[in-house]
């Protein structure tokens, strides 16, 4: 029969105490799940985020510039159509006397001629 010495008993006792302390600590302080990552992963993630934000800002600026240009062209075309002498003439009153006096008189004469034959 093999006799255990005091050194072996002391080592075994310390080992049991260490295991009990570890179980006690791990039961109250759970471990955070470890995740595999390569060296510099956080640094690359921040660089990718910066590049992505810069790229999105450039796309936004390009879209705003093209929308501003399209709005300018639309406004410019509308104003030039309103001012220019197109097929139907300008889109505003150029001769107020003709518009307010002469043209209504002609329309009334035409209606009256159709209504009362001569």
Is residue 109's pLDDT more than 80?
yes
Give the confidence band of 40 by pLDDT, cuts at 50, 70, 90. confident
User: What pLDDT score was predicted for residue 57?
Assistant: 95
Confidence of residue 117 (pLDDT cuts 50, 70, 90): low
The pTM score is 0.43
Q: pLDDT-derived band of residue 29, with 50, 70 and 90 as boundaries?
A: low
Report the run of H or E that residue 24 belongs to, with start and end. helix 6-28
Instruction: Give the confidence band of 9 by pLDDT, cuts at 50, 70, 90.
Output: low
- Alpha-carbon torsion 49, 50, 55, 56, what sign? positive
> Is the pLDDT confidence value at 118 over 70?
no
On the question of pLDDT at 32 being above 70, the answer is: no
- Mean pLDDT score, 103-111: 89
Q: Report the alpha-carbon distance of residue 17 to residue 23 in Å, rounded.
A: 10
Q: Is the pLDDT reported for residue 13 higher than 70? A: yes
**Model confidence pLDDT, tens digit, residues 65-78:** 999 999 999 999 88
């Amino acid at each position: 029969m093999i006799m255990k010495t005091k050194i072996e008993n002391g080592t075994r006792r310390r080992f049991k105490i260490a295991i009990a302390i570890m179980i006690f600590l791990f039961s109250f302080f759970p471990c955070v799940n470890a995740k595999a990552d390569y060296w510099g992963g956080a640094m690359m993630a921040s660089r990718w985020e910066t590049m992505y934000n810069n790229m999105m800002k450039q796309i936004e600026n390009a879209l705003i510039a093209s929308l501003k240009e399209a709005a300018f062209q639309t406004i410019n075309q509308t104003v030039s159509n309103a001012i220019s002498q197109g097929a139907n003439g300008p889109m505003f009153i150029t001769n107020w006397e003709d518009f307010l006096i002469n043209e209504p008189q002609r329309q009334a004469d035409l209606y009256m001629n159709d209504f009362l034959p001569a």
